[in-house]
Amino acid sequence: MHYYSTSNRELKSTLKEAVLRGLAPDRGLYMPSSVPVLDRKTMEGFRNMELPAIAVTLSNALFGSDIPESELTRLTEEAINFDTPLVQVDEGLYALELFHGPTLAFKDVGARFLARLLAYFTRALDEDIHVLVATSGDTGSAVANGFLDVEGIKVHVLYPSGGVTPLQEKQFTTLGSNITALEVNGSFDDCQRLVKECFMDEELGGQMKLTSANSINLARFLPQAFYYFRAWAQLEPGTKAFFSVPSGNYGNMTAGLVAREMGLPVHTFLSVNNLNKVVASYLLTGKYSPRPSIPTIANAMDVGDPSNFDRILDLFDHQHERITRHLHGYSYTDKEIREVIAEVYREKGYLCDPHGATGYRAAQTYRKEHPELTGIFLETAHPAKFIEHVEGVIGTAMELPERLAAFADREKQAVFIQPDYKEFKEYLLNRI
Ligand SMILES: *Cc1c(COP(=O)(O)O)cnc(C)c1O
């Protein structure tokens, strides 16, 4: 299969090139030139499978023409080694729990898959590959943990100083080995800009092999299509469902849209934002106006210029009218998010994290107008990851899952830098 650039559909690359480069040479994003459409029998087979088995089938369908089946199966099984159960929260309303991986967030799916695919493609190289990743929270921990000790790969995690929770910070600043954390004296957008500048810098590119582990890398966002199928497979046959997707960089949403292209029956998608509502505004007005991001308690959605938005435009040939047929926009303030967490906990006995809470509210709202549909909201992280917000809202102490508690005791190690490209480049050149 070939992958084209969203900036120029004639510019085609192999899977290997696309995964190694992250961003296309013309700065567009890679998209699959065609996606396999699953037949009825394959889909029905999913009903008896958990995520790991579904993932193997789907990764062979997507990437099977580029990687031998035995290798692909092995690396997929290694990467996707946990399930994503559907949990009923209310009548006709389900949480798709995506947080059962090692760092308790959905980004484990894409990050673990990308790490192994990258390692597969670079095994024969005699120089290190440098993975650059900007994080507003969970990406850093998922990517760092996904790549930890993978040979031949060095990871540099950039994060906004004071912009991630203490626990999130611990998850990527305490690993050591091939993982370095850079604490940037600026915002998440600054971090993302520094990473983007590296990829445009031909001189730097000539001196070291760079790639991105942000959801601009297609091997990170595409595997996220797997769990949309897993959600469907857990519903009663014939159920008409929609997905409510708490969104930041829109990798998760793009994966859902690709799943739909692969034949997944989806009634509609809810595009859910916090106060950073550039996409909600676009859906209303047809105008896309990126803005500096605003900090919220759902910080993994604090994105002012979503990097996958071009992929969504591309999927619908840049036609606003077609996009709004499939995507409905919602956005919530921190106050509303807190209300949802408290209400759902009190009335349904289910504890949402701040991101999932936005998805819940949008799904509940949409379902009021469409009671015949079943709503699935993506629970993108374990609530304990945001313990400092959640505990205050529910008024009860929470116990930290062991996997998280283990990080809290370790010592932070980070390189402090200004949001200055020259300084960042110098740091990188010193790491060759
Ligand atoms: C990254 C993240 C999101 C946003 O996902 P995108 O794919 O960037 O839209 C939502 N919730 C949590 C917990 C996240 O970590």
- Count CB atoms within 10 A of the CB of residue 238: 6
pLDDT in tens, 10-59: 999 999 999 988 889 898 999 999 999 999 999 999 999 999 999 999 99
Cα of 206 to ligand 1 centre, how many Å?
32
Three-class DSSP category at 322: helix
Domain that holds residue 317: 83-104+221-400
Instruction: Let me know if residue 338 belongs to a domain.
Output: yes
176's tokens? 């050591």
Instruction: Let me know if residue 36 belongs to a domain.
Output: no
Instruction: Let me know if residue 274 belongs to a domain.
Output: yes
- Count CB atoms within 10 A of the CB of residue 37: 11
How many domains are contained in the chain? Answer: 1
Measured CA to CA, the distance from residue 402 to residue 250 in angstroms comes to 30
Which ligand 1 atom minimizes the distance to the CA of 224?
A: 7
pLDDT in tens, 127-168: 899 999 998 777 889 899 999 988 889 999 999 999 888 888
Model pLDDT, residue 262 = 98
Residue 352 contacts residue 219 (beta carbons within 8 Å): no
Measured CA to CA, the distance from residue 293 to residue 135 in angstroms comes to 13
Q: How confident is the model at residue 288 (pLDDT cuts 50, 70, 90)?
A: very high
**Ligand 1: does its nearest atom lie under 6 Å from the Cβ of 251?**
yes
Which ligand 1 atom minimizes the distance to the CA of 246?
A: 10
**Ligand 1: does its nearest atom lie under 6 Å from the Cβ of 355?**
yes
Measured CA to CA, the distance from residue 150 to residue 412 in angstroms comes to 21
Q: What is the DSSP letter of 371?
A: T
Model pLDDT, residue 47 = 97
Measured CA to CA, the distance from residue 304 to residue 13 in angstroms comes to 29
381's tokens? 């992280």
Model pLDDT, residue 27 = 86
pLDDT in tens, 185-196: 999 889 989 998
Instruction: Let me know if residue 301 belongs to a domain.
Output: yes
Instruction: Let me know if residue 91 belongs to a domain.
Output: yes
pLDDT in tens, 78-135: 999 999 999 999 999 999 999 999 999 999 999 999 999 999 998 888 889 999 999 8
CA dist 341 to 39, 89, 92, 248, Å?
39, 12, 19, 19
Instruction: Let me know if residue 337 belongs to a domain.
Output: yes
Measured CA to CA, the distance from residue 55 to residue 47 in angstroms comes to 13
> What is the number of residues in the chain?
432
| Of 134, 138, 142, the residue nearest 115 (C-alpha) | 142
**Ligand 1: does its nearest atom lie under 6 Å from the Cβ of 138?**
yes
- CATH number assigned to the domain comprising residue 285: 3.40.50.1100
Cα of 248 to ligand 1 centre, how many Å?
5
**Ligand 1: does its nearest atom lie under 6 Å from the Cβ of 300?**
yes
Measured CA to CA, the distance from residue 9 to residue 6 in angstroms comes to 6
Instruction: Let me know if residue 348 belongs to a domain.
Output: yes
Cα of 246 to ligand 1 centre, how many Å?
7
Mean pLDDT on 63-73: 97
